[in-house]
Chain A
Amino acid sequence: QDCTFFTRKEILRLHGRYHEMAPNVVPMDYTKDPDVKLPMQLIINMPELKENPFKERIVSSFSEDGEGSLSFNDFVDMFSVLSEMAPRELKAIYAFKIYDFNTDNFICKADLEKTLNKLTREELTEEEITLVCEKVIEEADMDGDGKLGFADFENMISKAPDFL
């Protein structure tokens, strides 16, 4: 309980949800610490995530093996971070991970393009996308290496009025 932003009751409810998704795989009893994971396909079909353009990224950044399968611990962790009680700093870290598509610890142009396409459902033209990506890099890149490190990202996002 101390590891998350949830109360005991909420965690139990989360477990209920977790259990619901695959009743035959997930045991109700967690005292024996079983090693159970749910595949990404199940998780992203949750109504909370279904419409999110970054659902795959969210799930895979919280999964321990990087493949998108979540153990219950990861599952709780995900909701804890996404909950409103979590502080901005923490959210920024995970947001960075989510936007970092190729997990190279930098948000580079390809990542930005992917983000943009997901956000706009590929309704922008090629030039527009390039323009926006260039602008983003130009705005937020403090160290001039042509991609956004976490420091850049955090600096930028901490000033955003409506971040998370």
Chain B
Amino acid sequence: EDKEEDESKEEDNGSQQNRASRRKNYQRKNGDGKKAREERIQKKNRGKMAPNKDQKESENKEKKATKRGKEGENKQKKDRKNSISSASSNSSDEESLSEEELAILKEQVEQKKKLISTMRNKPWRMVKKLSVLREAQDFVEKFEGALGKGKGKKLYAYKMMMAKKWVKFKRDFENFKTQCIPWEMKIKEVESHFGSSVASYFIFLRWMYGVNLVLFGLIFGLVIIPEVLMGMPYGSLPRKTVPRAEQATAMDFTVLWDFEGYIKYSALFYGYYNNQRTIGWLKYRLPMAYFMVGISVFGYSLMVVIRSMARNANESTADGDDDNFIFSWKMFTSWDYLIGNPETADNKFASITTSFKESIVDEQESNKDENIHLRRFLRVLANVLIICCLCGSGYLIYFVVKRSQTFSKMQNVGWYERNEVEIVMSLLGMFCPPLFETIAALENYHPRIGLKWQLGRIFALFLGNLYTFLLALMDDVNEKLAEEDVVKNITHWTLLGHHNSSAGNDSTVTPPPLDPADVPRGPCWETTVGIEFVRLTVSDILVTYITILVGDFIRACFVRFVNYCWCWDLEAGFPSYAEFDISGNVLGLVFNQGMIWMGSFYAPGLVGINVLRLLTSMYFQCWAVMSSNVPHERVFKASKSNNFYMGLVLLILFLSLLPVAYTIMSLPPSFDCGPFSGKKRMYDVIQETIELDFPLFVAKIFSYVANPGLIIPAILLMVLTIYYLNAVSKAYQRANAELKKKMQMQREEEKNKRNNKASTNPMLQDLEDLLTPSTKTEGPPKQAEDKKTESPNGTSPVGKPGRGEVLAGSPLASGRGAAFTPPSQVFVTQPRTLGVRASFPGQPRPWGHPLGPVPGRGRGQPCY
């Protein structure tokens, strides 16, 4: 029963439908021949939504009087007027001439009916409405019988009902749809307390979750489940069996926690898969599927990132155009009138306050005027400092990695030497971001832009992290490859496990029927890499959660409860509550995703872990934020499109694509594990499939397509296309900016123009009528009388189009036009809106506009 802001749109639709249906009814009654006239009436009425009913009434009467005379004139000048473009009124009048009386009556009844149906739109007091309504109803009843209809009304009512139902259904559907968006409520709650910037992180997290869910479905549905269902069971092959030496401890928790033992020899990792071309009765080509899924994980991710970036960009340009009334809209339309629940109301109050604060920050930022040179100098200084920091830490990482390589060759090194890289990395990760933040304070950016800078800088720092990790991994892999050659060539060999992750090898002779657990096997570098990634992910999860728990929750508890007995104010003073660290969390998420992308090829189960992680962190972080964080000091509004996050994701996706592509294209797969074992390169599986499973010509086509002579021109073409599209978009942007400027100018102009006129319009009259309840009773009739006295001077509004056309038409008709032209009072129904032109109304202008009742003009606002 209350109103809701969002529904006005639907409401509009509804009224549109009403109108349409009404029109249809009318048409049915009057026959198709009078469409033109009916259109005219429509026009007139639409133009007159605002003027009140008394005017309409008076028009009616006046029309009755004047129409006949006009009709005669029309007939005489019919032939001449027919040459005029849209002589709608004339032609219809001519047709209905014979039943003139009837038509007028009909029209009047129609008018009354329309009045009845639009009655509810009038802002009058109920009492007045009631009395007017009764009058109108009487009138209609009196004449309707004579005209013999009433069937249309039922149909109309039915249509109205259907329209209503439809609107309701649509709204319910919308509600349902929003209900289906996961965590919408949670995110909104966070947003209302912490502002949109914090919420943007959670929205990003949700998006990430969606992407990962799809990847999870892809990998599980196409790789893991077929393997589990149709592949050879555990223990049937060496690669699917835990080696003899490890079997004793394979089930221990510590071993499992390190992802060794049974977990290592499970479908979660690359090494478990067999290189059998087809498996099961479905002849499912698992190696092929594995390869394709690996590719399509990247393909899908790229596509999704790009698409959402493009959509965000679209959105931000689409509704960023009208930002003239930010504060006004916030002020007047932010309350949701449907709220009836105290808790929701609290949230709403919080969110309105927050949004006001956000806008205020924006506003203050744009109003700031200080020493621009000083600011510039400070910014340059800050950037120099930060670049120094980055270079320093980069060099430090490089140096430490180098050192660790020498250490790894030495025997019996201490604990510190072994873990030096990790320690340095985590120290850097701990101290650099706050340092950057301190330096960034120099720059004095708007917090939104500041966040972007901060993100970019920490991102650069973390790249070092990534670099060391990959470097270590590559070393590992190379070592493993060398090791593998040895295993391959010499079956009798006892290998000392250099590495924690390398599989121990048995030293038994291997006749073929040996138990699979006893077969000596290579180190299988792919699985090692996979395990490395999984370990990293899991430890990352743990670290994140523990940090949140200790850094936020325990701290909050401490501050909250110890504050009662402490010598200074903990809440306001030093430890205080934690703020939500947007940049850190976003980057953590982004880098974690990079790990997933890199690792999912070698450890198909990794995505499953990540899905769980995102799911739990959604709840956990939501809870942590709401329970133990305080909002930022300067709540700022997140940019509507979080394209910056997307850009980071894209970058990391690209970066993580590189190593995977490198290993696929240029490293030989292990000889005894994984779906590609026995092949020279992993991508050979495609070649094989094409050769064996497709007809010959496909192979031929493929070989042609893979020809460099074709690929290079294709790339060239793409580059050219990109260049062209870029140029086009630039041109559009420029045009857009130009248009915006024009609009702004127009607005100014309008402002000026309006300053010169005291604008009174029908809407305002209605309003005054309302606002002075005491005079209300006698007000309207008097008004109506005024109108009546004025209006006989002018022709009816029906005459207006004719006049307009005469003016617009031939100079030949101008003389007559002048005679025919009514005095200015004709505009009385739309007093000031046409004021500019009305100031010299009688003058026949050679190229005057057809200033007939333009639909919408009369709404109250001149919209030049």
Listed in ascending order, the chain A residues whose CB lies under 8 Å from chain B are 2-5, 14, 47-48, 50-54, 64-66, 71, 73-74, 76-77, 79-91, 93-97, 99, 103, 105, 112, 115-116, 119-121, 123-124, 128, 131-132, 135-136, 139-140, 142-144, 149-151, 153-164
Contacts and interface: CB of A to CB of B under 8 A. Distances in A.
A52 B339 contact: yes
B766 A93 contact: yes
Given A84-B3, A86-B11, A96-B767, A131 B119 contact: no
B370 to A, nearest CB: 18
Interface in B727-770: 750-751, 754-755, 759, 761, 763-764, 766-768, 770
B332 A139 contact: no
Interface stretch (B98-106, B126-134, B214-222, B380-388): B126-134
B709 interface: no
Contacts of B750: 142
Contact of A150 (B121, B332, B763): B763
A83 B130 contact: no
A159 to B, nearest CB: 6
Nearest to B161: A7
B116 interface: yes
Contacts of A3: 119-120, 126, 129-130, 133
A132 B356 contact: yes
A47 B754 CA distance: 43
A89 B763 contact: yes
A88 B119 contact: no
A94 B123 contact: yes
Given A84-B7, A124-B357, A154-B861, A136 B327 contact: yes
B329 A51 contact: no
Given A73-B130, A88-B12, A163-B333, A139 B3 contact: no
A156 to B, nearest CB: 5
B356 A120 contact: yes
A139 B771 contact: no
Given A51-B345, A86-B3, A132 B751 contact: no
A2 B357 CA distance: 44
Main secondary structure of the interface of A (DSSP, over half): helix
B2 interface: yes
Closest 5 CB pairs of A and B: A73-B126, A51-B345, A3-B129, A135-B327, A82-B3
A143 B333 contact: no
Contacts of B573: none
A103 B126 contact: no
Interface of B: 1-8, 10-12, 14-15, 49-50, 116-117, 119-123, 125-127, 129-130, 133, 137, 164, 167, 171, 319, 322, 324-329, 331-335, 337, 339-342, 344-345, 349, 352-353, 356-357, 359-360, 363-364, 750-751, 754-755, 759, 761, 763-764, 766-768, 770-771, 773, 859-861
B3 A105 contact: no
A112 B803 CA distance: 46
Contact of B771 (A82, A105, A124): A105
A149 B125 CA distance: 21
A103 B772 CA distance: 9
21 contacts: A2-B116, A2-B117, A47-B340, A51-B339, A64-B127, A71-B126, A74-B126, A83-B2, A86-B121, A89-B859, A90-B123, A93-B770, A120-B352, A132-B327, A135-B363, A136-B331, A142-B750, A154-B763, A159-B322, A161-B319, A164-B7
A77 B773 CA distance: 15
A160 B340 contact: no
Contacts of B322: 159
Nearest to A94: B123
A94 B859 CA distance: 16
Contacts of A99: 332
B586 to A, nearest CB: 28
A96 B767 CA distance: 9
B349 A120 contact: yes
A119 B328 CA distance: 13
Nearest to B342: A51
A164 B3 CA distance: 6
A121 B11 contact: no
Nearest to A151: B759
Contacts of B359: 132
Given A85-B11, A95-B332, A132-B359, 14 more contacts: A73-B125, A82-B3, A84-B171, A86-B121, A93-B766, A96-B767, A124-B360, A151-B761, A151-B763, A154-B861, A158-B861, A162-B329, A164-B3, A164-B7
